[in-house]
Structure 1
Amino acid sequence: MTRAIVICTTCKHADGRKLDDAGRTAGSYMVEAVETVLAEKGRNDVTIQTQACLWNCTRPCSVVVRDDERFSYVTGANQPTREQAEAILAWFDMHGATETGEVPFRQWPDLMRGHFIARMPPVAKGEKA
């Protein structure tokens, strides 16, 4: 089984700037926020992958919950903050605790509501991708 959080590294800032005054993308801050929360919680059980441009440029920051056995989800308009990172990780954990990857809406962290763009079913066993 493969599960990961995939974060776009090239996402622009909410105000439209590609880079801030420090020369960083919003995506780089999102990666940092998620990695910081994981480190502070002593978690090494979550795979973080980075990807340049997830083609969701109208709703940065883009984060994908990828799973080869459950539904995978594309999210956007995530703020590159600690609070958003905590919500993403909480939802990721709930997702992993389900058989299909379908988390009941009432259980979602508030900061995850309104961020989901699409879900993709896993590739069926024996099916060619």
Structure 2
Amino acid sequence: MTETAPVELLVCTTCRRGLPVEDDADRPGTLLHKALEQADLPEGVTLRAVECLSNCDQGCSIVLRGGPERWTFVYENLSEVDHVDVIVDGATKYLASEDGLVKWRERPEHFRKNCASRIPPIGA
């Protein structure tokens, strides 16, 4: 079996998901990051909190990226309540792929319908 390159799962923690949030309350993006910290992410996926992915009007957003030979994907409209398992499933499939291109039908349905962007590898 070939060893897979490490993958980063970036979560926008400043996302408000279009909701009013009190200054001292956790934002939905922060809650999504906290939920993913408790999830069973596969070995080889590193979870990172980032500030503002500039996709503010499209709910909580994440990025899956991994090395110079993989495509990078931005997914949107995510929820800390409804999509943790979806994100884990998508990250697991992304990690297992050589180039980050998981076959469309094998992607979680939410990923198929809520891909904000796909960015080619540096070497493309």
Same fold (TM over 0.5): yes
1:11 aligns with 2:10: no
Give the whole-Å Cα distance in 2 for the aligned partners of 1:2 and 1:88. 16
Kept after mapping to 1: 8 A contact 2:13/2:30: yes
Q: TM-score, normalising length from structure 1?
A: 0.80
Q: Which amino acid aligns with 2:64?
A: V
Counterpart of 2:26?
Answer: 24
Give the Cα separation in 2 of the matches to 1:106 and 1:91: 12
Matches within 5 A, 1:101-112: 101-112=100-111
- Identity across aligned pairs (percent)? 27
Residue in 1 that maps onto 2:79: 79
Q: Report if aligned partners of 1:26, 1:61 keep a CA contact under 8 Å in 2.
A: yes
Q: Secondary structure at the match of 1:76?
A: strand
Task: Report SS of the residue matched to 1:99.
Answer: coil
In the TM superposition, residue 72 of structure 1 has moved relative to its aligned partner by 0.6
Q: Which runs of 4+ in 1 moved over 6 A?
A: none
The one-character-per-residue Cα deviations of 1:78-115 (angstroms, maximum 9, x if unpaired) are 1122x411111111111121222111121122333311
- State whether residues 12 and 25 of structure 1, in contact with CA within 8 Å, keep that contact through their aligned partners in structure 2: yes
SS of 1:62 mapped into structure 2: strand
Q: Which range moves more in the overlay, 71-80 or 102-111?
A: 102-111
Residues matched between the structures, number: 119
Tell me: CA distance 1:22–1:110, structure 2 relative to 1, closer, same or farther (3 Å).
Answer: farther
Larger fraction in strand = 2
Return 5+ residue gaps in structure 2 as ranges: none
- 2:62 matched residue in structure 1: 63
Q: How many angstroms does 1:22 deviate by?
A: 6.7
State how 1:80-99 maps to structure 2 within 5 Å.
Answer: 80-81=80-81, 83-99=82-98
Q: Is the 8 A contact 2:45 2:91 kept in 1?
A: no
Question: Alignment partner of 1:102: what SS?
Answer: coil
Q: 1:36 aligns with which of 14, 35, 38?
A: 38
Structure 1 Cα separation of the partners of residues 22 and 105 of structure 2: 36
CA drift at 1:2: 4.3
